[in-house]
Chains A and B, each alone.
Chain A
Amino acid sequence: MTQTISVLVENRAGVLNRITGLFSRRAFNIESLAVGVTDDKNISRITIIVDSGNNVVEQVEKQLNKLVDVIKVRTLDEKKLIGRELIIVKVSTSTKTRQDVANLCQIMGAKIADISSTTMTLELSDTPDRVDLFESLLRPFSILEVARTGVIAVQKGSGKI
């Protein structure tokens, strides 16, 4: 099981370093981490996915709360969150396989971002499970490159952290 932790931090130099440093020092494993600025340019949101075993989430949350640069920490309810990840994947294609890849994109709701005589570059923004599925379905076409952003998430409904 994984857990999604949303952290609002001061948008200052060294803050990300401090957060990731905390994870390595306390031996917490990060499955994914995504950072971006919020509507307030002084504040960044970090979305962290951790393995939820062994009381880790509780410790992560408490330790994060001790950092001066951390404004808010919230563990999001997995059933009540909108979590999305962006994948960009470049696959090797020929005239024969191009249509199959295009079909797959249509089924999965992915976009074709770029195309060349021998490759297609696809993008999909979806839940991590669907992104995994998309990646595995593309594997038979020989994947050349993959870039994933890591999950970003917010709570459903009117609540905010």
Chain B
Amino acid sequence: MKIRATQAIMECLLEQGVDTIFGYPGGTILNVYDELYRYQDKIRHILTAHEQGAAHAADGYARSTGRVGVCFATSGPGATNLTTGIATAYMDSSPVVFLTCNVTESTLGKDAFQEVDITGIAMPITKATYLVRDPNDIPDIIREAFAVAAMGRPGPVLIDLLKNVTGLDVMIDYEPLPKEEHQFHGRLADLRKRAGWDLTPPAPNSDDVDKLVELIAHSEKPMLICGGGVVRSRAHEEFRTLAEKLDAPVAITVMGGGGFPGAHPLTTGMLGMHGSRSSNMACDNCDLLIAVGCRFSDRVATDPAGFAKQAKIVHIDIDRAEIDKNVKTDHHIIGDARQVLQMVNDRIPSYQHPAWKEFVFSHRPKAPAESDILTPYQVLRTLQQMCPQDTIVATDVGQHQMWSIQHFHFDYPGQLITSGGFGTMGFGLGAAMGAKLGNPDKTVLHMTGDGCFRMNGQELATVSHYDIPIITVIFNNHTLGMVHQWQNLLYGGRFSQTDLNFAPDFVKLAEAYGVRGRRVTNQAEMTEAVREALDLGHAYVIECIIDTDETVRPMVSAGKPITEFLLD
């Protein structure tokens, strides 16, 4: 049937089950927004304060729901404002479809108003980019884009449509096609024929699994790493079964948070630069290290050449290019974590490793001391005790992020939303909005610092307007904490440009946006504030005043072996 090109865009989004879009309109994308107006009963659009906020929100929505997020922006500055959000999604393998519009064909390449080559700019930070110059390509390209974003190792894609392609008088042929059928038609059918681009993950090689089973049988000190792949493939149950059958300690990477229960007796906590002593010691003493869906980043394998050198390293990943990229491994299995772990679990008996576990868990840290001045630990403990157990936590980046991940327990994929790879300050608020809109029944916390909050704090306007009840917790130490910590430890206490004592009054700022806020300085006030926030049922900002010299512990310096602790 013949329909408007813009109508085809909406129909294609509906084919994918899209119900929420985050975005910001502008000159070149006017036609698409005009169509969106007609579809407002079917597709909800959240207008953010800034395109970056929209990008993070779509990302947070995707991470917390496991579905593909969608974000709209106009050409030029609208498109470039997305780039930090696109890169954040790319580094953490989050499936988001970004849709931008560009100038008309006749002015393309002529440096027209608000023209930028966004498909060129986004190339290294997307799985694929599409420049649509022929309106007839719209259905095919949108279907391919969604499939590419979600398949294999997920990630962002960008579709850039020329304005004339979206003209309101442009009619194209559109045949409705259920999502399951997409792979048998058009470009996707071609793509499917190629090795490596199968829409369903390739079955793990049975011999590779057998080899792992054999390595497990010979291991006396096995250890597991739970990486982001466990979260992305929702393989948490299979992973838990493996850990329990192996009776092996489990270290969890930043991206792996939620892949294995945080309070499970086998959990050693985070691994690497700010990893726990148990995790890092286990990694340095195990004889078999099974890493699932992790990429041995420089924050985990701080010294890649010496990382778990004594152990046989087995890498399970869906992305072949991750094998031997950072750390040389002894064996690998390519495939979806869920499928691989299922196969492994079916082939192994249950083991017991009491002596090995005793060694690993003998390195548990002491409980932090109580204090009259509010400490990060008190803030986190209060939140953990008072918020429901399935509370979603979205963080920004820095000290508060590390504290949150160290102290909270995450029990299911999508419970922790954090910018692990790209380390994007200002990610949290947008991500929390997306997470809350995707999970209206869950409590959502936005953990942030005074530095991060100022980067995208304007999204409080969005939170307020749409009445998105998220609780923002600002750790205000009046400094750029993580950089301050490095300066203190590694730069002789020369605090170059990290003093943030000139911040606005965050409580008043929240109030200006129509969001209730409160400043707290001790445990009792903190408890009251959390009670008030939870009872209110609307957005709430808690500003926690903490000491400037609070540190993230333990800490290993970049480039050093993970057992050489700079801070205990």
Could you list which residues of chain A lie within 8 angstroms of chain B, going by C-beta atoms? 13-14, 17-18, 21-22, 25, 55, 58-59, 62-63, 65-69, 71-72
**Residues of A close to B324: CB separation below 8 A:** 55, 58
**Bound form: Cα–Cα A63–B324 in Å:** 12
Which stretch in B127-135, B358-366, B371-379, B406-414 binds the other chain? B127-135
A66 and B191 form a contact (CB under 8 A): no
Q: Mark interface residues in B190-230 (1 if CB within 8 Å of A CB, else 0).
A: 01001111000000000000000000000000000000000
A17 and B320 form a contact (CB under 8 A): no
Residue of B nearest to A18 (CB): B123
**Residues of A close to B127: CB separation below 8 A:** 66, 68
B325 at the interface (CB under 8 A from A): yes
**Residues of A close to B320: CB separation below 8 A:** 62, 65
A62 and B128 form a contact (CB under 8 A): no
B325 and A59 form a contact (CB under 8 A): yes
**Bound form: Cα–Cα A63–B128 in Å:** 13
A62 and B321 form a contact (CB under 8 A): yes
**Residues of A close to B120: CB separation below 8 A:** 14, 17
A68 and B119 form a contact (CB under 8 A): no
Q: Mark interface residues in B322-360 (1 if CB within 8 Å of A CB, else 0).
A: 011100000000000000000000000000000000000
**Bound form: Cα–Cα A14–B109 in Å:** 14
> Which B229-274 residues have a C-beta within 8 angstroms of A?
none
B319 at the interface (CB under 8 A from A): yes
Residue of A nearest to B128 (CB): A68
**Residues of A close to B197: CB separation below 8 A:** 68
Identify the 6 closest CB pairs spanning chains A and B, nearest first: A62-B321, A68-B128, A25-B124, A65-B196, A21-B123, A62-B320
**Bound form: Cα–Cα A21–B123 in Å:** 8
**Residues of A close to B325: CB separation below 8 A:** 59
**Bound form: Cα–Cα A134–B521 in Å:** 79
Which listed residue, A25, A62, A68, A72, touches B191 by the CB 8 Å rule? A68
B191 and A14 form a contact (CB under 8 A): no
Which listed residue, A13, A25, A62, A69, touches B131 by the CB 8 Å rule? A13
**Residues of A close to B123: CB separation below 8 A:** 14, 17-18, 21
- How close is B192's CB to chain A, nearest CB, in angstroms? 12
**Residues of B close to A67: CB separation below 8 A:** 128
Residue of A nearest to B157 (CB): A68
Q: Mark interface residues in B112-142 (1 if CB within 8 Å of A CB, else 0).
A: 0000000110011001110100000000000
**Residues of B close to A68: CB separation below 8 A:** 127-128, 144, 148, 191, 197
**Bound form: Cα–Cα A62–B531 in Å:** 52
A66 and B321 form a contact (CB under 8 A): yes
**Residues of B close to A55: CB separation below 8 A:** 324
**Residues of B close to A71: CB separation below 8 A:** 194
Residue of B nearest to A60 (CB): B321
> Which B394-420 residues have a C-beta within 8 angstroms of A?
none
B119 and A63 form a contact (CB under 8 A): no
**Bound form: Cα–Cα A14–B123 in Å:** 9
- How close is A45's CB to chain B, nearest CB, in angstroms? 16
Residue of A nearest to B322 (CB): A62
**Bound form: Cα–Cα A33–B339 in Å:** 39
A65 and B321 form a contact (CB under 8 A): yes
The verdict on A63 contacting B321 (CB below 8 Å), with A25-B124, A68-B197 known, is yes
**Bound form: Cα–Cα A67–B127 in Å:** 7
Which listed residue, B124, B129, B319, B323, touches A14 by the CB 8 Å rule? B129
**Bound form: Cα–Cα A72–B319 in Å:** 17
Residue of A nearest to B125 (CB): A25
**Residues of B close to A14: CB separation below 8 A:** 119-120, 123, 129, 131
**Residues of A close to B119: CB separation below 8 A:** 14
- How close is B263's CB to chain A, nearest CB, in angstroms? 37
A66 and B194 form a contact (CB under 8 A): no
- How close is B504's CB to chain A, nearest CB, in angstroms? 38
**Residues of A close to B321: CB separation below 8 A:** 59, 62-63, 65-66
- How close is B122's CB to chain A, nearest CB, in angstroms? 11
Most buried by B among A13, A22, A66, A69: A66
**Bound form: Cα–Cα A18–B129 in Å:** 10
**Bound form: Cα–Cα A58–B320 in Å:** 10
The 29 sampled A-B contact pairs (Cβ below 8 Å) are A13-B131, A14-B119, A14-B123, A14-B129, A14-B131, A17-B123, A21-B124, A22-B124, A55-B324, A58-B324, A59-B321, A59-B325, A62-B320, A62-B321, A62-B323, A65-B195, A65-B196, A65-B320, A65-B321, A66-B127, A66-B196, A66-B321, A67-B128, A68-B127, A68-B144, A68-B191, A68-B197, A71-B194, A72-B195
Residue of B nearest to A58 (CB): B324
**Bound form: Cα–Cα A59–B128 in Å:** 19
**Bound form: Cα–Cα A66–B128 in Å:** 10
**Residues of B close to A72: CB separation below 8 A:** 194-195
Residue of B nearest to A24 (CB): B124
- How close is A30's CB to chain B, nearest CB, in angstroms? 16
**Residues of A close to B196: CB separation below 8 A:** 65-66
**Residues of B close to A13: CB separation below 8 A:** 131
**Bound form: Cα–Cα A59–B319 in Å:** 12
- How close is B512's CB to chain A, nearest CB, in angstroms? 42
**Bound form: Cα–Cα A58–B323 in Å:** 10
**Bound form: Cα–Cα A22–B124 in Å:** 7
Other than A55-B324, A68-B127, A68-B197, give 18 A-B pairs with Cβ distance below 8 A. A13-B131, A14-B119, A14-B123, A17-B120, A18-B123, A21-B124, A22-B124, A58-B324, A62-B321, A65-B320, A66-B127, A66-B196, A67-B128, A68-B128, A68-B148, A68-B191, A69-B128, A72-B194
Which listed residue, A21, A66, A69, touches B319 by the CB 8 Å rule? A66
Residue of A nearest to B145 (CB): A68
- How close is B95's CB to chain A, nearest CB, in angstroms? 14
**Bound form: Cα–Cα A17–B131 in Å:** 13
**Residues of B close to A25: CB separation below 8 A:** 124
Residue of B nearest to A26 (CB): B124
**Residues of A close to B148: CB separation below 8 A:** 68
**Residues of B close to A63: CB separation below 8 A:** 321
Most buried by A among B148, B197, B319: B197
**Bound form: Cα–Cα A72–B129 in Å:** 19
Residue of B nearest to A8 (CB): B194
- How close is B155's CB to chain A, nearest CB, in angstroms? 10
**Bound form: Cα–Cα A63–B325 in Å:** 10
